[in-house]
Amino acid sequence: MQRIILLALIFGSLIVATALFGAEQTELHKTHEMLMRGGQMSDTRTELRLNEQMKVLQKTMMREHLSTLGEMIAALGADDLNRASEIARTKLGWNQAQERNCSMMSGGEKDFLTLGKAMHMKADEFSRAAKAGKRKAALVTLSELINSCNACHNRFRH
């Protein structure tokens, strides 16, 4: 039974990854083709106005978020929904410290805070679903959480 659940989780993750990265690959392919033909491409995302130290700190925080997602997925794979819930709530959930961090890293961009809050709120939603033992709902919410991350990275750059 655990083997079937793990295979379903892996297969589901592959579907989510394909959905997430399919559009990106298309855009990547278009960009690559343009550059190969000698065209120029500019990054049209909004640049966050952060000094170098803040950029390094923000990138460190983003890598920690990715590590946390990995821990959540590993807990799901081990069929430990309570652990997945706890990880999401304590490491990614929305609280005053997360609000302070998102505000500090916003570079004055209000939409950055809005997108950051949405991601952290999805972590709370994931936590509730996992704690309730609702694996399918947790996986759907995890996908939405990752989409929130991607929406921010598609909008902003350093």
Is it the case that residue 38 has pLDDT exceeding 80?
no
The tally of domains found in the chain comes to 1
Is it the case that residue 10 has pLDDT exceeding 70?
no
Provide, for the chain, the percentages of residues in helix, strand and coil under a 3-state DSSP scheme, each rounded to the nearest 5.
80, 5, 20
Question: What average pLDDT is seen over the chain?
Answer: 86
> Whole-structure pTM over 0.85, yes or no?
no
pLDDT at res. 18 = 53
Mean per-residue pLDDT for 96-101?
90
pLDDT at res. 115 = 94
Q: Band of the pLDDT at 34, cuts 50, 70, 90?
A: confident
Mean per-residue pLDDT for 49-78?
95
Give the domain extent around 60. Answer: 2-157
pLDDT at res. 133 = 98
CATH no. for residue 87? Answer: 1.20.120
In angstroms, how far is CA 81 from the centroid of its own chain? Answer: 19
